[in-house]
Chain A
Amino acid sequence: MWFEAMLIGILCYLGALSSPWLLGLTGGWYILSRPLVSGMLVGAILGDVQTGIIIGVAVQAVYIAMVTPGGSMPADLNFVAFPAIALGILSGKGPEVAVALAATIGIMGTVLFNAMMVLNSYWNHRADAAVEKGDERGIYLNSAIWPQVTNFLLRFIPTFTAVFFGARYINAFMDSLPGGVLTTMNVVGGILPAVGIAILLKQIIKSYSMLIYFLVGFICIVFLKLNMVALVMVGALLALIHYNYKPEPQAATVQATPQADDEDEF
């Protein structure tokens, strides 16, 4: 198991928010750390790609719209994507329970994310000192190398530990839980995606009229039974109609009318 745990630990580091190896956050955070992708990779490492992807899809739904403006992190997606999905697969209790497990680990993971952000302040100060001294090597070491060593340790060690030791006990632990807890985890796993969806709606919906498109999309799936690819096409066509027929903002003419009125009064 140590080999699998090591691979998952390395992937967890490569997918971390600040890891530079795969063109920064483009290949790491936005590709490797999407549960859809990590489910496939972790599944492959643990020898069951299919289960991995099914669990990855279920977990992905919760975090579909997570944005991290200015480094605030409601849940550490990187720990969700690697150790949590690995434990979800190993527990063998199905996707809903894996979702509940992942959400718990994700929220706990923010502690380590914040620890990294604080530790990096130290490296930033050392880099500042290097700039003052004109030490270019020092700048590179303190802004690229040492912060990455910190990052690696904070990602690899917890992941390796969780997968290596968790693998032996997770099954027995899950079986020892009372039935009510497992049912609750199942129900929670089913409704947690509501949070991810709500985060996106919160960002995008500026007026209640936008909610219409959400409801139309919902109805297209529930009543018209469209599949997702067809849904995206219908949505793209609606967007095209909106783009073509929305009038240009007519600031000039709107302002012209009251001005004309003012002139009449004089």
Chain B
Amino acid sequence: MDMPTPKLNKQDLRRCWRAWMMYNLSSMSFERLESYGFCLGMMPALKKLYQDKQQRIEAIRRHTSFYNTEPQLGAIVNGMVVGLEEKRANGEAIDGEVINTLKVGLMGPVAGIGDSMLPGMLIPILLSIGMALAAGGSVIGPLFYIMAFSLIVIPGSYWLFMKGYHMGSGSVEMLVSSKSSRLREALSLLGVFVMGGVAASYVKLGTGLEFITKDGVNIHLQQMLDGIFPNLMPLLVVLVTWYLMAKRGLSPVKAMLGLLLLAAVGVACGLFS
């Protein structure tokens, strides 16, 4: 064959990354999740690599299978697959099955790491700083969150995409090495620590119970509690909710209804105010 070898330039790669970032969830359904998102993310590369229509449709079909991962960290998988498709289009012995196995094999671990790092740690930490800076209704809080999150995640996922493209299948080592799992452990420690502060600052519960002894001494229960351990009641609520959800499998919606019931009963008995 004397076909010119198709090469992807920087612009094509950037298009692929952008298409993936935009469309990853655009047609999500219970049955396919990100399958067509992945396909649209491959489109710019496939258009350039496979000039022949029949070959192109074949490649598109390969990328419409079920797919689901954490999109922002998952950009690394797209980078790798774009790299493999380029090699394949240039005649290297990589069959479609290999590419698909790689995708399916990586989507689970990358989703696990991604979900625990982004919505599990980075977002709560940035939000809790933003919420603190927003005290009294200051716009600094939301603006801080918008800036910090965009500046970390947008260049980060672009970098991961490019890393995946250049390093190929070796790039995932970076995410699952013992050094990075130690880093994740340290970050989850930070996440739990900050959540302690969030619980102390944002969970509010007080009692309005008062007793008047026969000597006329007014005992205000909340003031007594505050003298011993302020915010003890919110702490107990959080720990009990966590225990029921983590150890007894209570769903979030049921937990919310449970708290509603607790509040209604508490208000009715005059315990809470």
Contact = CB atoms under 8 A, between A and B. Distances in A.
A150 to B, nearest CB: 9
Nearest to A183: B267
B33 interface: yes
Nearest to B242: A198
9 contacts: A24-B24, A24-B71, A34-B123, A131-B64, A144-B40, A205-B246, A214-B195, A229-B132, A234-B193
Task: Summarize B's interface: helix, strand, loop or mixed.
Answer: helix
A171 interface: no
A6 interface: no
A120 B133 CA distance: 40
A117 interface: yes
Contact of B29 (A34, A40, A120, A202): A120
A234 B125 CA distance: 13
Given A60-B127, A214-B195, A239-B190, A202 B36 contact: no
Interface of A: 17-21, 23-27, 30-31, 34, 36-37, 39-40, 49-54, 56-58, 60-61, 64-71, 74-75, 96, 103, 107, 117-121, 123-124, 127-128, 131, 134, 136, 139-140, 142-144, 147-148, 151, 180, 183-184, 187-188, 190-195, 197-205, 210-211, 213-223, 226-229, 231-232, 234-236, 238-240, 242-243, 246, 248-249
Nearest to A20: B22
A246 B178 CA distance: 12
B100 interface: no
Given A183-B273, A198-B255, A117 B29 contact: yes
B61 interface: yes
A24 B259 contact: no
Interface string B25-38: 11111111101110
B216 to A, nearest CB: 29
A197 B142 CA distance: 20
A180 B268 contact: yes
Interface string B51-63: 0011011001100
Nearest to B36: A143
Interface in B178-216: 178, 182-183, 185-205
Query: Which of B40, B199, B204, B231 neighbours the largest number of chain A CB atoms within 10 Å of its CB?
Result: B199
B134 interface: yes
B219 interface: no
Given A24-B21, A248-B178, A238 B153 contact: no
